[in-house]
Amino acid sequence: MLRTDAELLAAAGKDASAFRELYDRYCERIHRFQLGRTRNRDAALDLTAETFAQVWLSRDRFRDLADGSAAPWLYAIARHVLIASVRKGRLEEQARTQLGLIRSEAPAEPSSLWVEGLDEAFADLPPELRRAIELRIVEDLPYAEVAAAIGTTSGAARVRVHRGLNALRERLLQTTEAPQ
């Protein structure tokens, strides 16, 4: 028997396959939604991954207002993720303009200080996040190949890479902000 979206969200905290079923049900639709607005495949994939990360984090706040369907709620989250992304980009651009900075398309040359503590922070990541980052960033594999290697979907692989990179960033920020 096919479970409703509301049932899947209610079960997701204890049953990972329930969230996976919801993800499989909506991932292509949410991706098309994001792609239609961004016209950029990579941005749409990132926004889709972020949307489902937000869905996961807020699953306990879901209220069934559509007879078992989570579609309106999911699209609202997707819209909020898109708006937040646009705002962040505008804020960054505005700050660069106000500071008189020119946006450089050339990659910055890394300082050795940038990677200080990176090995330790990377080693402290959970193995599933570390492996996803190794495959995507170090080996430069596309998300589809990362997903195949770790036995998940492309969207879930994106989420793992995103979470791992966020964890690294937070750890490195803590290290650089700590009193010396």
- Counting the structural domains of the chain, the total is 2
Residue at a domain's end among 98, 121, 149: 98
Instruction: List, for residues 151-165, the tens digit of each pLDDT value.
Output: 999 899 999 988 888
- Could you give the percent of the chain with pLDDT greater than 90? 39
Q: Which domain holds residue 83?
A: 5-98
Indicate whether 92 and 132 sit together in one domain: no
Q: Are residues 10 and 89 in the same domain?
A: yes
Q: Is residue 103 domain-resident?
A: no
Assess if residue 129 is contained within a domain: yes
Among residues 73, 98, 123, the one where a domain terminates is: 98
Domain with 68 in it: what CATH number? 1.10.1740.10
Q: List, in order, residues 6 or more apart from 78 with CB less than 8 Å away.
A: 30, 33, 34, 47, 48, 51
Q: Does residue 106 fall inside a structural domain?
A: no
| Shared domain check, 9 and 87 | yes
Each residue's pLDDT tens digit, 6-44: 999 999 989 889 999 999 999 999 999 988 888 888 888
In angstroms, the CA 21 to CA 130 distance is 25
Question: Can you point out the beta strands (E) in 36-158?
Answer: none
Q: Which of 25, 29, 31 is nearest to 44 (CA)?
A: 31
Within this chain, do residues 45 and 67 fall inside the same structural domain, yes or no?
yes
